[in-house]
Amino acid sequence: MNQIILRSFAKLNLFLKIQNKRIDGFHNIVTIFERINLFDEIQFKATNTGKIQIQCNHPHVPLGSSNLIHKVAIILQKKYQVKQGVKVVINKRIPVAAGLAGGSSNAATAIEGLTKIWKIKLNLREKQVLAGQIGSDVAFFLMQHPWGVGVQRGELVSKLPIKAKLWHILVVPKVKMRTPKVYQGLKLKPQEFGAEFYISKGRIEIAKCQKNRVLTNLLTKTVDNANILIHNLKRENTLEITRYLTNDLQPVVEGFCPRIKFLKQRLKSLNIQGVMLSGSGPSVYGITSSREEAINAAAILSKKYSQVFVVRTL
């Protein structure tokens, strides 16, 4: 096999709590991922040039060393002494810099695609270690599972045993939100404390945390709220799901871009439930009761916004 075409799916964050800013500049988080059926198509073709060539139909996608697919390819070439090159063609459908992890998903897809065409045998754990070198959300997509929980930077992930398939209306305003800028907007000071989490029977548990009452209480509340959301996702209790949707980055993004508040209010005026920012934005989604309700909302919202999607849990 010297050529393969793969789909690279987007995600939504139904829960995103920021624990603290780490000494290395990253942030420890607790997040619940939902993989959705909005996707890019990526073609990988092995070449004999040794070079990495990337083409994309979107003008804002970098084609050089800053592209995450390029970074994956370089790491694999060096570590496994790959002499072949690759030509990558990205058909971009996921909006760029939108809080939907399109770049991270592309990186995960590159790990899958390049290991196949270059005949590199890696197990899931080895792929996840590589993902951790690339970006925080990459490991989630390697699981190829609809639901997951991410901790630390988001790179430590576990599957969640949830069968719910939610319908969403998703609107992406024409404004770019760079993740580092949004996190800087939290204005947190680096701290050495943190916590270790694990998943037991589909629940998040705290394994370790600093013996500090304020911190312990904060983390306990975070874990409790995340577990309540997971419980209601398992029961497909939409009303309770909407009550526990969380994104600590939302106030920061609204401060940078006040029209996000207007967009949220517009969705709520259409009786859309659980309106929330995804990731570092500016994508805003809502939960609908059916595909038909999402389509009807999209018809109205498309009159003002050019990037409106009806999406579902994959």
Burial category of 79 from C-beta neighbours within 10 Å (exposed 0-12, middle 13-18, buried 19 and up): exposed
Question: What is d(CA 253, CA 173) in angstroms, rounded to the nearest whole number?
Answer: 12
Active site residues: 11, 137
In this predicted structure, what is the pLDDT of residue 205? 83
| Adjacent-strand bridge partners of 109 | none
In this predicted structure, what is the pLDDT of residue 212? 55
| Adjacent-strand bridge partners of 90 | 42, 56
Q: What is the mean pLDDT of residues 85-112?
A: 97
Q: What is the pTM of this model?
A: 0.94
Please state the domain extents for the chain.
3-312
pLDDT above 70: residue 245 = yes
Q: Where are the beta strands (DSSP E) in the chain?
A: 3-21, 27-47, 52-56, 85-91, 147-152, 156-159, 167-171, 195-200, 203-209, 246-247, 273-277, 284-288, 308-312
User: What are the tens digits of pLDDT across the range 126-142?
Assistant: 999 999 999 989 999 99
Strand 52-56 to 284-288 pairing: unpaired
Which one has a higher pLDDT value, 205 or 85? 85
pLDDT above 90: residue 204 = no
Question: What is d(CA 194, CA 196) in angstroms, rounded to the nearest whole number?
Answer: 7
Q: What is the mean pLDDT of residues 22-32?
A: 90
In this predicted structure, what is the pLDDT of residue 218? 67
Average pLDDT, the chain: 93
pLDDT above 80: residue 197 = no
Chain-centroid distance, C-alpha 231? 21
Whose tokens are 């997971």? That residue is: 230
CATH of 3-312, one of 2.60.40.10, 3.40.50.620, 3.30.230.10, 3.30.1200.10: 3.30.230.10
Of the pLDDT bands very low, low, confident and very high (cuts 50, 70, 90), residue 28 is confident
In this predicted structure, what is the pLDDT of residue 215? 58
